[in-house]
Structure 1
Amino acid sequence: MEIRILLVDDEPLLIESLEIILNNEDGFKVVGLKNNGKEALDFIRSEEVDVMLVDLNMPVMGGIELIEEVKKINDNIKIVVLTTFYDESNITSALKNGANGYILKDSGKSAIINAITQAVSGNGVLDNKVMEKLTGLLKNNSETDKNESISVDKTKEGNNHIGSNESEDVNEIIKDFTPRELEIAKLIADGCTNSQIASILFISEGTVKNYVSSIYDKANIHDRTQLVIFLREKIR
């Protein structure tokens, strides 16, 4: 079954080039090219789309607003941000609104293809530069950040954005982490893979996976992207 992709960017040369590249990949089909968020919303109301590659800085309706509106219309559509911007505001706004990935325009072909594939599989994908930015911010959080709560948009059961219900006390969730889970969570936020965590803590990779599953369950999240944003708000 082909993955149906909608490209949304106000740079015609970019999306036309991407269209050629992606259509040459087995299992991929670009079903539309749109220049702004409004055009994209009109398109998904009448056409089937699996994944959207979305720029942030566009006329009429930008990417941040588009992500939020798409999730209201069809939360099953996966959205990968493809942009030149990787400042804190854009990254966190996009991910909190429901973006499934965030990669940069200087990423290679394989990174873009991987981001699409991972998004369809239900996994979050962050560009290395974006991950470095988030983990740097995590380390620099002040003590007062620990008292903030995170708002979450939960539009459908089993599909949560960055955390849990608005009514939940996120600080209580952190308290539920065991010391080992908290240790592993911080290593994940630092960008460590399961294999690296296993080496650092002298435990098996299988044991790490079990701890990660427990962390996801307690925080009511589903992938590393969500976990990094969750921890950025709560843990130094």
Structure 2
Amino acid sequence: MRNIKILLADDHAIVMEGLKEVLSADEEISVVGCVQNGEEVLRFIKNNEVDIVILDINMPVMDGITCARHLKKEFPKVKIIILTMYAQRSFVEEIVKIGIDGCLLKNNTGKELIDAVLRVMGGRQYYDRIGTFNSQEEEVTQYKLSEREIDVIRLMSQGLTSIEIAEKLFISDHTVKTHRKNILKKLNVSNSSQAVQYCLSNQLI
């Protein structure tokens, strides 16, 4: 019987525990480690045997896409499955080009995740649901980002403060803070860095 060694990388403890529970239910799979960012992934793999890394896209310190690039360059034999909360088509071309072995939505984990692991270990790719992912235009519509919110987050990506953004857009500091709050809510992220990262990764700005 195979023993597929898996490393989990996600900065949300509850998500990590859920993934671990799902995977551990399969007797062919062993979860050999749980880490919270891409840098920890690279350190772990240098010192431990791993067959597959299951990566969240949005992680602090080093995100999943950046980590995947390093893995393919430094540890090409390690398989990679990306997990994402968002059904966006805009990053699929990028992850295919990197050579990532599989991609699936977090809300479709469970049996699908185990199927993906087994298929990837068999030398095939798992991209079953990407045909249903949203285009860039659909993403903007889905989250109802206004033109002004796009302006605000574009300036946020340049490192400007709320006061500086207000001066650039000729609006009040309070209005900028309201836009920032609405952006986080619409994108379902917890801070400005994650919002900027999401929009940059998906070419929304």
TM over 0.5: yes
Q: Are 2:100 and 1:99 aligned?
A: yes
AA partner of residue 85 (structure 1) = Y
Runs of 4+ in 1 over 3 A off after TM superposition: none
Partner residue in 2 for 1:121: 122
> How far off is 1:57 after superposition?
0.8
Q: Secondary structure at the match of 1:10?
A: coil
Local SS of the residue matching 2:107: coil
Aligned residues between the structures? 135
Query: 2:120 is matched by which residue type in structure 1?
Result: A
**Is 1:131 matched up with 2:131?**
yes
Aligned positions of 1:140-151 closer than 5 A: none
Q: CA deviation at 1:90?
A: 2.1
Structure 1: runs of 5+ lacking an equivalent: 138-236
Q: CA deviation at 1:60?
A: 0.4
Residues 133 and 18 of structure 1: CA distance in aligned 2, closer, same or farther (over 3 Å): closer
1:74 aligns with 2:62: no
Superposition pairs for residues 127-206 of structure 1, below 5 Å? 127-128=128-129, 130-133=130-133
| Runs of 5+ unmatched residues, structure 2 | 137-205
2:4 matched to 1:3? yes
* Partner SS, residue 27 of structure 2: coil
Q: Matches of 2:15 and 2:123 in 1, distance apart? A: 26
2:196 counterpart residue number: none
Root-mean-square deviation (CA, aligned residues, Å) is 1.7
- Aligned partner of 1:29: which letter? S
Pairwise CA distance, 1:76: 0.9
Residue 132 of structure 1 aligns with an amino acid whose one-letter code is T
Deviation at residue 29 of structure 1 after TM alignment: 0.1
Q: Equivalents in 2 of 1:36, 1:108: separation in Å? A: 20
- AA in 2 matched with 1:30: V
Normalised by the size of structure 1, how large is the TM-score? 0.54
What one-letter code is carried by the residue in structure 2 that aligns with 1:68?
R
Superposed displacement of residue 127, structure 1? 3.7
TM-score, scaled to structure 2: 0.62
Residue 20 (structure 1) shift:
2.0
Amino acid at match of 1:58: M
Q: CA deviation at 1:86?
A: 3.0
Decide whether aligned partners of structure 1 residues 108 and 19 sit closer, same or farther in structure 2, where only a CA change above 3 A counts. closer
Aligned to 1:14: 15
The one-letter amino acid paired with 1:6 is L
**Maintained 8 Å contact 1:104/1:127:** no
Corresponding residue number in structure 2 for 1:202: none
Letter in 2 for 1:70: L
Q: Does structure 1 retain, via aligned residues, the 8 Å contact 2:87–2:132?
A: no
Alignment partners' CA distance in 1, 2:78 and 2:119: 13
Query: What is residue 86 of structure 2 aligned with on the other side?
Result: 85
Give CA deviations for 1:100-159 in whole Å, capped at 9, x if unaligned: 01100111411000000001111111142x12348x89xxxxxxxxxxxxxxxxxxxxxx
Query: How far off is 1:87 after superposition?
Result: 2.0
Q: Is the 1:71–1:98 contact (alpha carbons within 8 Å) kept by the matching residues of 2?
A: yes
Partner of 2:63: 62
CA distance, structure 2, for counterparts of residue 49 and residue 11 of structure 1: 21
CA contact (8 A) 1:55 1:81 kept: yes
Cα displacement (A) at 1:88: 3.0
1:52 partner letter: V
- Equivalent position of 1:50 in the other structure: 51
Letter of the aligned partner of 1:66 in structure 2? C
Which residue pairs with 1:200 in the alignment?
none
